[in-house]
Chains A and B, each alone.
Chain A
Amino acid sequence: MAALPAVVTANETETGTVVYRTPDGRLSPNLSEAWVVEDAERLEAALAELQTQQAIVCDPYAFPVKVEAGVPMPLSTRERIRSQGPTVALPRAS
């Protein structure tokens, strides 16, 4: 289980899009809308709930965050890149 506070994330099964669980139980592609869980029991319950929605999302897990100006910020570089996209410009057609 991730250190607290934490955010629950997964990938949409159909598209692979990275999503985060919101406080009202939705799945949002925006980390800023994620539910910041501060309680281990509630975190476990949120993960268990997503595990039952496998047609919608796959491989849910939690990762630790810190809250800055009311917005969850990942502690790891991996989750920062996962939430914001590659750190390099994507190749673009001219």
Chain B
Amino acid sequence: MYQYDEIDQRLVEERAAQFRGQVARRLAGEITEDEFKPLRLQNGVYMQLHAYMLRIAIPYGFLTSRRLRRLAHIARTYDKGYGHLSTRQNIQFNWIKLVDVPDILDELADVQMHSIQTSGNCIRNTTADAYAGVARDEIEDPRPWCELIRQWSTFHPEFAFLPRKFKIAVTGAPDEDRAAVRFHDIGLRILENAEGQRGFEVIVGGGLGRTPLVGEVIHEFLPQASLISYLEAILRVYNLFGRRDNKFKARIKILVDALGAAEFKRLVDEEWALIKDSAIDVTEEELERIRRYFIPAAYEELPSSDARLASFSLGKDRAFGQWVRNNTRHHKVPGYTIVTIAVKAPGQPPGDLTHEQMDALADLSERYTQGRLVVTHAQNLVLPDVKTEDLPALHAELLPLGLATANAGKLTDIICCPGLDYCTLANATSIPIAEAISARFDDVDYLNDIGDVSLKMSGCINACGHHHIGNIGVLGIDKRGEEFYQLMLGGAPGNDAAIGKILGPAFAKHEIVDAVDRVIQRYLTLRESPDEPFIDALRRVGLEPFKEAAYPDAKKDKRPAASARAASATTVAAPETQGT
């Protein structure tokens, strides 16, 4: 786990003190809301539907038990007793009083946490593979690089007022992208060439929102030492040419799309030529300095536990077996297992944790995983270093906490934005739909029969719930004051990146869960075998069979075909032969 050095510590303490003064001036009426708004946003304070919301940064999602306990304390003392894990691997509190924020920031600084750059048109929290550092398929831990980016981008004066917000993600696992790098302003994939050298594939201009686009590769193998100079060149080009006249066209994806990837790359290379091979390059000494601040986990020498893990999943305790099957992963160190805590219990808002759960998880992490936890972009938590032999005991302790739901990667492991229940931007509620879908499919055997399928839901076109890249996506819209929901299929966030395609006219609120159910039923009848995942079956047969299932009365109603507004890019293949 990365430990802040003395410079980081002073920085967060000074920022907390600075904001205390700004809040005091605001409450004294010395500055207006218009003057104050950019200041509070730079400290992660939003005004939401019911109250202020505070977004707290969790760099690349990595938490310690001490930090989680502090978050529990904040939930208990300053909020209504719970927090919400975000898709940026951060945490949000929904019922914060402005007058309390300076004290909260002091409490955060005490455990080396903060809210810096969790809002505003700046470089936001860099995200990473939630299994970083422990994944068996990883060629290099991306976290030191994320930390390098954090240090470079924090309070970078040139990039404090970009045309729009800017998000970077890094993965060190080339075969399975668990960080959605193709849907970030910049996505970085650590690769290794035939000579054993490491470099970055640099992907630019991906994103969701009202214009979903898959990022474009502009450098296939950037030498690692050049990372910061190349990022700086990209940001400079964006800062110079990105649109500032229209916030809906201000993200870098619009610029890359308008210029074309080749021209954008040319501009970046031109800028890069001015700064590369200079003092800005990353030296091995500097990287080693950062690596030293990552205190490694203390692993015991244990025999391989792969067979034991397999036997657990087939044991007589079916609930435990299903949890092992769905919520664990092989660890890179023999004898250890990666555990996903699905914060997706039936009937609970996805990603919400009570202060009691946070405290209990902090305790469990100390006893089972060396006090380390990871927030995932799927709004779950990962315990990265659990001894495989401890899994039965850990599962038994998670059960009474409501945190042993065995649905990681399954249909009810829903990514869901706060929607109209909390958000001022939303057009429709999303949490009630997620809860209804969870209730409808609350049967682990059935979920396992359906297999791996992602469902992502947003309450508006801003796509905080990543609906464009769900195998099944749900988008809430407003039609003359009524909540309606568009259904889209075929999105994928990983190496097979794709943007979902709208299936047809939006469904009324009372219709959408049934429509999702009918889509699942159709998949179950047309898959070639239980081993063919939903997304593969969809790509094989195309949208039409699912459209027929979702709109059974379409011919009778003469409903129109899929909206022409369907997302512009999709890789859902047209079927060569119609499925049965």
Name A residues whose Cβ lies closer than 8 Å to a Cβ of B. Answer: 11, 13-18, 54-55, 58-59, 75-78, 81-82, 85-88, 90-94
- Are A88 and B51 interface neighbours, CB within 8 A? no
- Nearest to A82 among chain B residues (CB) is B49
Q: Is residue B440 within 8 Å, beta carbon to beta carbon, of the partner chain?
A: no
Which A residues lie within 8 Å of B98 (CB)?
13-16
Distance A87 CA – B422 CA, assembled complex (angstroms): 10
Select one of A14, A81, A91 contacting B348, CB under 8 A: A91
Question: With A81-B420, A91-B353, A94-B356 in contact, do A16 and B96 touch (Cβ < 8 Å)?
Answer: yes
- Are A13 and B26 interface neighbours, CB within 8 A? yes
- Nearest to B421 among chain A residues (CB) is A86
Which B residues lie within 8 Å of A14 (CB)?
27, 97-99
Select one of B29, B52, B349, B481 contacting A91, CB under 8 A: B349
Which B residues lie within 8 Å of A90 (CB)?
80-82
Which of B251-259, B287-295, B429-437 forms part of the interface with chain A? B429-437
Select one of A18, A58, A76, A93 contacting B50, CB under 8 A: A18
Select one of A11, A77, A87 contacting B47, CB under 8 A: A11
- Are B432 and A88 interface neighbours, CB within 8 A? yes
Which A residues lie within 8 Å of B429 (CB)?
77, 81, 87-88
Apart from A13-B98, A86-B50, A91-B353, what 11 extra A-B contacts exist at CB < 8 Å?
Answer: A15-B52, A16-B51, A54-B33, A55-B29, A81-B429, A87-B429, A88-B421, A88-B432, A91-B82, A93-B81, A93-B357
Which A residues lie within 8 Å of B426 (CB)?
78
Q: Is residue B352 within 8 Å, beta carbon to beta carbon, of the partner chain?
A: yes
Question: With A55-B28, A90-B80, A93-B354 in contact, do A16 and B47 touch (Cβ < 8 Å)?
Answer: yes
Q: Is residue B32 within 8 Å, beta carbon to beta carbon, of the partner chain?
A: yes
Q: Of residues 412 to 432 in B, which have CB atoms within 8 Å of A's CB atoms?
A: 420-422, 426, 428-429, 431-432
Name B residues whose Cβ lies closer than 8 Å to a Cβ of A. Answer: 26-29, 32-33, 47, 49-52, 80-82, 96-99, 348-349, 352-357, 402, 420-422, 426, 428-429, 431-432, 435, 478, 481-483
Which B residues lie within 8 Å of A86 (CB)?
50, 421-422, 431
Select one of B28, B50, B97, B431 contacting A88, CB under 8 A: B431
Which B residues lie within 8 Å of A13 (CB)?
26-27, 33, 98
- Nearest to A88 among chain B residues (CB) is B431
| 20 CB < 8 A contacts A-B | A15-B51, A15-B99, A54-B33, A55-B27, A59-B33, A77-B420, A77-B428, A77-B478, A77-B482, A81-B49, A81-B429, A82-B49, A86-B50, A87-B432, A88-B421, A88-B429, A91-B82, A91-B353, A92-B82, A93-B356
Distance A32 CA – B356 CA, assembled complex (angstroms): 35
Instruction: With both chains docked as a complex, state the minimum distance between the C-beta of A55 and any C-beta of chain B, in angstroms.
Output: 3
Distance A75 CA – B28 CA, assembled complex (angstroms): 35
Distance A76 CA – B80 CA, assembled complex (angstroms): 26
Instruction: With both chains docked as a complex, state the minimum distance between the C-beta of B512 and any C-beta of chain A, in angstroms.
Output: 15
Which B residues lie within 8 Å of A11 (CB)?
47, 51
Distance A28 CA – B252 CA, assembled complex (angstroms): 44
Distance A86 CA – B28 CA, assembled complex (angstroms): 31
Distance A39 CA – B451 CA, assembled complex (angstroms): 59
Instruction: With both chains docked as a complex, state the minimum distance between the C-beta of A60 and any C-beta of chain B, in angstroms.
Output: 10
Which A residues lie within 8 Å of B357 (CB)?
93
Rank and list the top 5 A-B pairs by shortest CB-CB distance, nearest first. A55-B29, A16-B51, A86-B421, A16-B52, A93-B356
Which B residues lie within 8 Å of A59 (CB)?
33, 47
- Are B81 and A77 interface neighbours, CB within 8 A? no
Which A residues lie within 8 Å of B27 (CB)?
13-14, 55
Distance A77 CA – B428 CA, assembled complex (angstroms): 8
Which B residues lie within 8 Å of A87 (CB)?
421, 429, 431-432
Query: Which of B28, B33, B482: most chain A Cβ within 10 A?
Result: B33
Instruction: With both chains docked as a complex, state the minimum distance between the C-beta of B6 and any C-beta of chain A, in angstroms.
Output: 35
- Are A76 and B52 interface neighbours, CB within 8 A? no
Which A residues lie within 8 Å of B431 (CB)?
86-88
- Are A88 and B52 interface neighbours, CB within 8 A? no
- Are A88 and B435 interface neighbours, CB within 8 A? yes
Which A residues lie within 8 Å of B354 (CB)?
91-94
- Are A81 and B47 interface neighbours, CB within 8 A? no
Distance A16 CA – B47 CA, assembled complex (angstroms): 7
Question: With A14-B97, A54-B32 in contact, do A93 and B435 touch (Cβ < 8 Å)?
Answer: no
Instruction: With both chains docked as a complex, state the minimum distance between the C-beta of A18 and any C-beta of chain B, in angstroms.
Output: 6
Question: With A14-B99, A87-B429 in contact, do A54 and B29 touch (Cβ < 8 Å)?
Answer: yes
Instruction: With both chains docked as a complex, state the minimum distance between the C-beta of B134 and any C-beta of chain A, in angstroms.
Output: 29
Distance A78 CA – B422 CA, assembled complex (angstroms): 10
Which A residues lie within 8 Å of B32 (CB)?
54
Instruction: With both chains docked as a complex, state the minimum distance between the C-beta of A68 and any C-beta of chain B, in angstroms.
Output: 16
Distance A59 CA – B40 CA, assembled complex (angstroms): 15
Instruction: With both chains docked as a complex, state the minimum distance between the C-beta of B347 and any C-beta of chain A, in angstroms.
Output: 8
Distance A16 CA – B50 CA, assembled complex (angstroms): 7
- Nearest to A83 among chain B residues (CB) is B50
Which A residues lie within 8 Å of B432 (CB)?
87-88
Which B residues lie within 8 Å of A77 (CB)?
420, 428-429, 478, 481-483
Distance A15 CA – B33 CA, assembled complex (angstroms): 14
Question: With A13-B33, A55-B29, A88-B432 in contact, do A76 and B421 touch (Cβ < 8 Å)?
Answer: no
- Are B356 and A88 interface neighbours, CB within 8 A? no
Which B residues lie within 8 Å of A55 (CB)?
26-29
Which A residues lie within 8 Å of B422 (CB)?
86
- Nearest to A56 among chain B residues (CB) is B29
Which A residues lie within 8 Å of B80 (CB)?
90
Instruction: With both chains docked as a complex, state the minimum distance between the C-beta of B114 and any C-beta of chain A, in angstroms.
Output: 20
Which B residues lie within 8 Å of A93 (CB)?
81, 354-357
Distance A55 CA – B131 CA, assembled complex (angstroms): 46
Distance A15 CA – B101 CA, assembled complex (angstroms): 10
Instruction: With both chains docked as a complex, state the minimum distance between the C-beta of A38 and any C-beta of chain B, in angstroms.
Output: 21
Distance A85 CA – B80 CA, assembled complex (angstroms): 13
- Are A78 and B420 interface neighbours, CB within 8 A? yes
Instruction: With both chains docked as a complex, state the minimum distance between the C-beta of B204 and any C-beta of chain A, in angstroms.
Output: 36
